[in-house]
Chains A and B, each alone.
Chain A
């Protein structure tokens, strides 16, 4: 079976509990910085020890024979043992790795043991072979990283480990998409439809800052989605103001992009720019059932309030749903929740069965 092509550096790991979760593989940049820092620490410790011994023995320049032996042993410890001991005792991290937020784990996500830590550090020797002369440090390791999916150097390959990036780059909604955009009002739509999260994600991708798309091209792409969404929502197309048509027509060339931004504003439910980890929790909405009842007549009520109460994302446009379920049941109807969730599951299964019988 062909491996799915990956465009980012995330690796999915399955836990014994049968859940997939993702690690971000550390790239060569961060690893280089960590490596350089570690080298500095090694050399620094050596120099510090030499000075310390000089201070203790009170000689300057020449070290007595015993100190010479100590220095050599420390040199040995630094060059062969430093990385291994750090990774064994600090849960797969050296000091350099801590500073970069990196960690060594097994490829199944479990922490590494002593022998793996020791072995992968011994294999720094072949990894740091110079292939193209003194300029290209760690050539073998870098080549091996380039050739493997998990960016493993030889030491990682042999001992089945990988270096992961623990820095949490939180995937947040880019706050600037929906700045200064009005949410879609209830009165503007005839239908009842909740834009699912995955659609929102697609829209966000379209507006990502690192995407080099001209405004015209973005409008073209947006059109496909926008037209569909307008239809689902029963969006009432605004008409030009007869007294001042210019304002309307000035907006038409970008109307799909603008519409998608309004979708984001309306349905993306987390606070803008709020990137703290428990943001989704804070925003747990407390809409009461009464709000839905009054929603139909209150024109000022924004869609997302209603949606919060009424819409499972599976519950689409009402009329469509009924015709669909009448002919053949969709798999969503047979879907059974995990048992522990069933007791507070009130909406969807009962509702759809009512819809079928009526």
Chain B
């Protein structure tokens, strides 16, 4: 009887102790991430410059945002960004993964090289590329030497029709290898006997790709596309260090607009409102991804 009660007591003690395992991580995140995020939502209803008194203005910031032409420029640029990033790296990554997965001796080499730029900080790589793209002392000199005068005169980051695409180009350099490695991992999971039986039945390479490869990588493809959409709403570093959203607001994204509003114009309330909008978009993409995962597509 006595031992039974001791065991019981011990169990009770353990049950209570377990919260000490989880609570530190939980509170740390709640205090420094979740509550500040809610505070952003709270700020979005105020007119505030970050220093003086806050004035409650209800939904006025939201009304201003939906009537703000700068906001629409940023939003359209963000959608251009998404369009480019869900096509170019996905197509390139898929094609290269299909090829690289067939390689034997050199597979590791290409995987290492293609993934390498992804681990370098966007802020650092962005600045290095800026230097290469310098109109007077950068690659334009090489173009001029080759006799390509019009390329040699291009202001890659200073022309408002080109700046956004120049930054995208650099981010593609940085990013597509990540997509390639994701697909490579997925292709290596495909059951090789499927290909064998397809070959026995006389399927062409194209048919193999269409009926075996594509279905097996569908979960990864979906995951990659949703991830790209989510990240595209948040992308900041490359644009900020390369053009700062300029020239004018030609390469402005939602994130750079937020940053300028908050730290150059000191419109903290309004910046928070745009933040709320941005967060909602990216959380929606994240929720879509969780739904996809629930369908059993484990990636």
Is B truly associated with A?
Answer: no
